[in-house]
Amino acid sequence: MSHVAQSKGRAGFITGFLFAPLALYLTFVIWPYVQTFGYSFTNWTGQSPTFDFVGLDNYATLLNDEVFRGALWHNLLLLVFVPVITILLALFFAFMVNAGGRSGAGGVRGVGGSRFYKVVYFFPQVLSLAILAVLFGAIYRSDEGGLLNGFLVKVGLISPQHPVEWLNEPNFVLWCLLFVVVWHGVGFYLVLFSAAMQSVPRDIYEAALLDGAGRAQTFFKVTLPLLWDSVQTSAVYLGIAAMDMFVLVSTMTSGQFGGGPDHHSEVMATVLMRNFLYFGKSGYACAMGVVMLVLTMILSVITLRATRRERIEF
Amino acid sequence: MTTVIKAPGEAAAERPGKTGRPGEGDKRRSEGVVLNVFSHGFLALWAIMIVLPLIWLALGAFKTDAQIGGSALSWPANWHFDAFGRAWDKGIGGYFANTFIVLVFSVPLTMLFGSMAAYVLARYPFKGNRVVYYFFVSGAMFPVFLALVPLFFMVKRFDMLNTYQGLILVYVAYSMPFTVFFMHSFFRTLPTAIHEAAVIDGASDTRIFFQVMLPMAKPGLISVGIFNVLGQWNQYILPAVLMQPQTSGEPERYMLTQGLVQLQYQMGYETDLPVLFAGATIAIIPMLAVYLSFQRQIQAGLTSATLK
C-alpha cells in the first residue's frame, strides 16, 4: 500500500464523512446564528424583502424598553434563585439518599428506600415542559378547582370565597413558575450528585467517621468539596435554563406569548417571540437574541470563575 | 432497612448534639435518629409532591367539567374512559403520530451523522481538525432563541415550513453539538490496536467504522440516543416556530407538545376540561412506561451525558 494512495483515500473518506453533518449544521445552526448579528442592525420586519441598516438603533431602543428591562430583571432573579434552590435541595436529598442512613457506628449507607426515591424524584425530568404547563396550569387554578387552592381551603388557610389567583397575582406569578422549574429539576440533580458521591471512595467516608466527624461535618468537609465539579456544572446548566423559561411563561401566564399579568412574569424570550411573531419586528427581536447570548456567555464565565476551587483528585 | 428508628417523640426527648466526638456515642446515636426521622420526613414529603399531582391529573379525566371547576379534592363521579376517546379524537392521536414520524427519522439520522463526524474528528488528524471540532461543539453554548428568526426564514426559503422533513433536518442539526461532543470523547477511548488489526486485514475506513467501531461504541450510542430521544420528543420551541400551517388549507402537523398546549387553549373555550386532563394523561403514560422500563439506563445516560 503506497503512502500516497493511502492518504488520498483518507482525504476522500474524511470529506465524505464530514460533508453531510457539516452541511446541515452550517445551514441550520451556524448561519442563522451569524445572520442574527447582521439583522440586529437593521429595521427588518420579516415580511418585506427590503430593509435598512440602522446601526445600533435597535440596541438603543432596547435600553429604554420598559418591558424588556423588566424581563431582564426577572431573568436575573430566576438566575439566582433557580440554581441555588435546586442545588441545595438536590444536595440535601442526595446526601440523605446516599449517606444519610447511618446510625452511630454502622458505617455509611443511604436511608432505606433510597432506590425508590431516586426513581420517583427523577420522573419529572422525562416529562415535557408542555405537560408541566398543563399540569401546573391546573394546580394553580384561580378557583377552588385548583389543587393548591383546594388543599389550602381544605386545611382552612384560605376561604373558599376568596381563593388565591396564583398566576394572576403580580407578586406570586414569578415564584409559582420558579417552583415548577425546581419541581422539575431536583430529581435530575439528585441523581447527578448521587453518581458523583458514589464515585468517592468509601474509605474517605469511613476515615472521617473514625475521626469522629458528624453528619454535618462529613457533608461540608468531605462530600461537598469532592462534589464541587458537579455543583459547578449544574449551576451553569440551571443558569442557562433560567435564561430561557419560554415554554412555561408563554403557556401558563396570560397575554400574547405570556408574560402577564401586566408583564409581571415577562422574560426576555417571551418579549423576543412577541416582537418577532406578533409585532413583526424581526430586526429588533434579533437584537434581543444577541443581548441574551452575551448575557448567557458572561454568566457562564462568572459562574465558572466564582465557583472555582482547587480540583481535588481521588 | 438496618437503621434503628425510634418514635419521633422518643427521639425528640433526647438532646440532639451538633457534632459527635469520639466517646460520645450516645449523643451521636440520638443525632442520627433525629436526623433519620427528619430526613425521612422530607424525602417522603417530596415524593408525595411528585406523585400526588400526577395522580390528581389522571383522576381529572374521570371527572365532569363542573366537578373540575368545583372542588379540587372531589372524587371522580364518572368512571368512564370517554374523555380519553374525545381527547384522542381532538387530535392527540394525530399529534402522537406526527411526533413519532419525525423521531423515527431524526433520531437515527442524528446518531449516524453525529457519530460519523465525531469519529473522523476523534481518530483522523488532518489540517483544521480542531477548528471543525470546536465549530461543532460551540453550538451547544448558544441559546436557541438567538437563531430562531433567521432559522424560520431559512426553512421558509427551502419551502419546508410545516413539513416533516424540515423539522427532521432541523432537529438533526440542533442535536449535532452534543452528539458530536459526547461521541468524540467516546471514540477517543477505543483502542487503536483493533483499528490497526482491521487495516491489516484489508478493511476500508468506511467498513472499519460501520463494522468495528460503531458496534464497539454501543454503550456511548445508547447514552446519547436516550438523550436525543427525550430531547427531541419534548422539544417545543422549534416546532412552535416551524410547524404552523402557512396557508389556511394546509393540514396541522403539530407535535405532541405543541398539540397539548393547543388543546389547553381549546378546552378552555369549549369548557371540556376532562378532555385536557385525559390528553395530558395520554401523553404522560408512554413516558412513564418507557421510564419505568429503562430507568437505570435513562438515569445513567442522562447523568453521564451531562457530566462528560
pLDDT of residue B23: 43
Of A116, A125, A128, the CB nearest to B257: A128
Question: Which pLDDT value is given to residue A312?
Answer: 63
The alpha carbon of residue B18 is apart from the nearest alpha carbon of chain A, in Å, by: 8
**pLDDT tens-place string over residues A225-280:** 888 888 988 988 898 888 888 999 999 998 888 888 999 999 999 999 999 888 88
A179 with A121, same domain?
A: yes
Question: Is residue A314 in a domain?
Answer: no
Predicted local confidence at residue A41, as pLDDT = 93
Of A17, A28, A100, the CB nearest to B120: A17
Residue of A8, A10, A25 to mutate, testing the B interface (most B Cβ within 10 Å of its Cβ): A25
CB contact set of B224 (below 8 Å; sequence gap of 6+): B111, B114, B178, B179, B182, B183, B301, B305
Q: pLDDT of B11-66, one tens digit each?
A: 333 334 434 344 444 555 555 566 667 778 888 999 999 999 999 999 999 988 88
pLDDT above 90 covers what percent of chain B?
49
Given a cut of 90, whether residue B160 has pLDDT beyond it is yes
Q: Residue B11: its pLDDT value, please?
A: 38
- Say if the Cβ atoms of B139 and A35 lie within 8 Å: no
Span B65-77, average pLDDT: 82
Q: Are residues A111 and A194 in the same domain?
A: yes
pLDDT digits (tens, 9 = 90+) for A19-75: 999 999 999 999 999 999 999 999 888 777 778 888 889 999 999 999 999 999 999
User: Residue A2 belongs to what domain range?
Assistant: 1-39
pLDDT digits (tens, 9 = 90+) for B220-249: 899 899 889 999 999 999 999 999 888 888
What CA–CA distances, in Å, run from B150 to B144, B156, B164?
11, 10, 19
**What average pLDDT does the segment B206-215 reach?**
92
Q: Model pTM greater than 0.80?
A: yes
> Would the CB atoms of B237 and A9 count as touching at under 8 Å?
no
Q: Does residue A296 have a pLDDT over 80?
A: yes
Mark whether A153 and A10 lie in a shared domain.
no
B261 neighbourhood in chain A, CB within 8 Å: 130, 133-134, 251
The verdict on residue A149 lying in a domain is yes
A142 lies in the same domain as A28: no
Shared domain for A33 and A63, answered yes or no, is no
Is residue A98 a contact partner of residue A197, using CB atoms and an 8 Å limit?
Answer: yes
A64-103 residues touching B, CB cutoff 8 A? 89, 92-93, 96-97, 100-103
Q: Is the domain of A92 the same as that of A128? A: yes
Mean pLDDT to the nearest integer, A120-146: 92
Residue A236 confidence (pLDDT): 85
The reply to whether B165 touches chain A by the CB within 8 Å rule is no
Q: B54 to chain A, minimum CA–CA distance in Å?
A: 8
Residue A244 has what pLDDT?
Answer: 84
Considering the domain boundaries, does residue A190 fall inside one? yes
Q: Please state the domain extents for chain B.
A: 90-307
Q: Judge contact between B67 and B77, C-beta under 8 A.
A: yes
- Tell me the C-alpha distance between B54 and B140, whole Å: 32
Same domain (yes/no): A25, A145: no
Confidence band of A4 (pLDDT split at 50, 70, 90): very low
Cis peptide, bond prior to residue A261, ω within 30 of zero? yes
- Contact across the interface for B72 and A29, Cβ inside 8 Å: no
A44-53, A149-158, B99-108, B227-236: the lowest-pLDDT one: A44-53
Q: Do B4 and A123 touch (CB under 8 A)?
A: no
Same domain? A34 vs A155: no
CB A112 within 8 A of CB A104: no
Count of beta carbons in the 10 Å neighbourhood of residue B68: 25
Cell numbers found for residue A229: 465539579
On whether any CB of chain B is under 8 Å from the CB of A18, the answer is yes
Q: What pLDDT, on the 0 to 100 scale, is given for residue B95?
A: 94
**B196 interaction partners in chain A (CB closer than 8 Å):** none
Q: How far apart (Å, rounded) are the C-alpha atoms in residues A215 and A228?
A: 18
Region A193-218: what's the mean pLDDT? 82
Judged by DSSP in three states, B211 sits in: helix
**Same-domain check for residues A135 and A194:** yes
A contacts of B136 (beta carbons < 8 Å): 21, 25
DSSP states of A91-139: HHHHHHHHH----TTS---PPTTHHHHHHHHHGGGGS-HHHHHHHHHHH
A 248-267: CB under 8 A from B? 251
Helices marked H in B217-308: 218-233, 237-242, 256-270, 273-307
Neighboring chain B residues of A10 at a CB cutoff of 8 Å: 124, 126, 205
pLDDT at A303: 80
Per-residue confidence (pLDDT) for residue B33, from 0 to 100 = 62
A48 lies in some domain: no
With CA atoms as reference, report the closest residue to A190 among B109, B177, B302: B302
A79, A112: one domain: yes
Res. A85: pLDDT tops 90? yes
Distances (CA, A) of A72 to A40, A54, A65, A275: 18, 24, 11, 15
Minimum mean pLDDT among A116-125, A149-158, A302-311, B239-248: which range?
A302-311
Question: Number of A:B CB contacts under 8 A?
Answer: 308
For A92, the closest chain B residue by CA position comes to B39
Which residues of chain B does A237 touch, with a Cβ-Cβ cutoff of 8 Å?
A: 306
Torsion of CA A93, A99, A102, A104, to 10 degrees: -120
Q: Does B213 touch chain A (CB under 8 A)?
A: no
Higher-pLDDT residue of B166 and B8 is: B166
A121 shares its domain with A255: yes
Task: Tell me the pLDDT tens digit for each residue of B262-303.
Answer: 898 888 777 788 999 999 999 999 899 999 998 888 888 888
From CA A148, how far away is CA A138, in angstroms rounded?
Answer: 9
Inter-chain touch B56–A147, beta carbons under 8 Å: yes
**Do both A13 and A128 map to the same domain?**
no
Nearest by Cα to B254 from A235, B265, A190: B265
What is the count of structural domains for chain A?
2
Domain assignment present for A231: yes
Q: Does A296 touch chain B (CB under 8 A)?
A: yes
Asked if A131's CB is within 8 angstroms of B280's CB, the reply is: yes
In this predicted structure, what is the pLDDT of residue A8? 55
Q: Which fold has domain B90-307?
A: MetI-like fold (1.10.3720)
Regarding predicted confidence, which is higher, A178 or A237?
Answer: A178
Predicted local distance difference test score (pLDDT) of residue B36:
67
